[in-house]
Amino acid sequence: MQRMQLDQDIRPLSDFRAQASMFIKQVQTTRRPLVITSHGRSAAVLLDVREYDALVEKIELLQDVQTAELQLAEGKGTESEDARMMLLDRIAG
């Protein structure tokens, strides 16, 4: 995801309502998020679909890593040689 440019990527809701298609095109072109404000406070973030998908993938990967770390801490890990043998047995079938 591209780094936000504060002077271009934070807009009030009234501007977004008036020029929604322009802001959507901006987000798709720049691949930067757009923060929409309401009454001077951040209210929503508009993301390009590809950027959203990439963020979800990263979060899922981090959750998998966290789960693996917890399993290892609980002693549920498998030695690499044992895991290799289990995989070879599965492949051999």
Domain residue spans of the chain: 6-47, 50-92
pLDDT above 90 for 51? yes
The pLDDT value given to residue 5: 85
Report angle CA 30, 34, 35 to the nearest 5 degrees: 160
CA-wise closest residue to 5 among 42, 41, 32:
32
pTM above 0.85, yes or no: no
| Calpha distance 77→68 (Å, rounded) | 8
Regarding the domain with residue range 6-47, which homologous superfamily does it belong to in the CATH classification? YefM-like domain (3.40.1620.10)
- The pLDDT confidence band at residue 18, using thresholds 50, 70 and 90, is very high
Identify the pLDDT of residue 35. 97
Report the pLDDT averaged over residues 46-61: 96
Q: Give dist(CA 6, CA 11) in Å, integer.
A: 9
Question: For residue 10, what are the contacts with CB-CB under 8 A and spacing of at least 6?
Answer: 4, 34, 35, 37, 42
